[in-house]
Structure 1
């Protein structure tokens, strides 16, 4: 009899604990859904906002686009070098970076600075992105594709009619890496525009 009563008490305690944890879980999930902006901002942060705004403003670019490229390229981690040798937040190839530094007149910018300093990587990368916009008649999608594949490849695709330079036909981009890159950049771009409209 005593054992039965103890078993019954244990079962009740277990049921009470289960209910408590279910209520706690339901409250937590509700909070996540109610505060989904908080969750979205946590999942899609923008770092180096002041540097991005300044460089985007210097070259007439949308800061959301610069931020999206940084997210796709390095996920805001300085000091990165890709297996192909691309450097820094905006993952510029050294030859491209040296060309930009020379053309733009950026004095004393080294590969080490590009690799480790967010402000310099963002400035040099934004200058390059602006030059791509100019080369492709302000076609944002073609400029982003050229940021990944190089302007020569994108020009060939457009001239040959392989791709028309629009987001609607991004599936026609001949390089799979570039196709996915463009899709990823514009996914982040649209996400950032929704989450940070005042950016």
Structure 2
């Protein structure tokens, strides 16, 4: 009997190694599945539609595609029929007066509520604001949310510090939300939203 026990010892070692290997493989598969589920969940929280139009307008005006997607997500959650209490329309929530001004200055024509035109106008406007505020993303986003006149008024105060002093809580929150959402879009889809060309 003792001889049989000793002769089984190498098999037991092999069984322990095999069981440990199976456990490691199972854990790796569970981790991969969990990561895939998490990625799918994050993509459902940060959907991406109209990516060709976003990339095209972003390329034309030099604005990061992930930032445009973040503005759309924050403004309308990609609802092309969104309408605010202030009568802002579409994916990028453009008000009629701003749409007329953009059309006049940019030459972009069409119904500003239609997704393609709305995105083109919104990205043109972001570029305009970026130029107006010397590349300051925080000021650009603050002006997109609260208006150029409002931001210009803040800048009249010599003690104004854009990193600390956005006086409207909604606008301060908007700037933070867009920037965090941009980071999520860049992480999920790439800063150019998965360009394949």
TM-score, normalization: structure 2? 0.76
Deviation at 1:194, TM superposition (A): 1.3
Give the distance between the partners of 1:174 and 1:105, measured in 2 at CA: 34
Per-residue deviation, residues 122-171 of structure 1 (Å, max 9, x unmatched)? 001111111000100011111000001111211221231454223xx2xx
Task: State the secondary structure of the residue aligned to 2:167.
Answer: coil
Matched with 1:18 is: none
Gaps of 5+ in 1: 1-28
Matched with 1:141 is: 138
Matched with 2:174 is: 181
Alpha-carbon spacing, 1:188–1:162, altered in 2? closer, same or farther (3 Å): farther
Matched with 1:15 is: none
- Which stretches of structure 1, 4 residues or longer, exceed 4 Å deviation after superposition? 29-32
The yes-or-no answer on 1:150 pairing with 2:147 is yes
Q: Is the 8 A contact 2:108 2:117 kept in 1?
A: no
Matched with 1:9 is: none
Matched with 2:107 is: 105
Q: 1:85 aligns with which of 80, 84, 87?
A: 87
Per-residue deviation, residues 58-89 of structure 1 (Å, max 9, x unmatched)? 10110111111000000011122211111111
Gaps of 5+ in 2: 1-29
Decide which structure has the larger Cα Rg and report it: 2
Deviation at 1:37, TM superposition (A): 1.8
Pairwise CA RMSD of aligned residues?
1.8
Give the distance between the partners of 1:34 and 1:56, measured in 2 at CA: 30
- Structure with higher RCO (Cα < 8 A, 6+ apart): 2
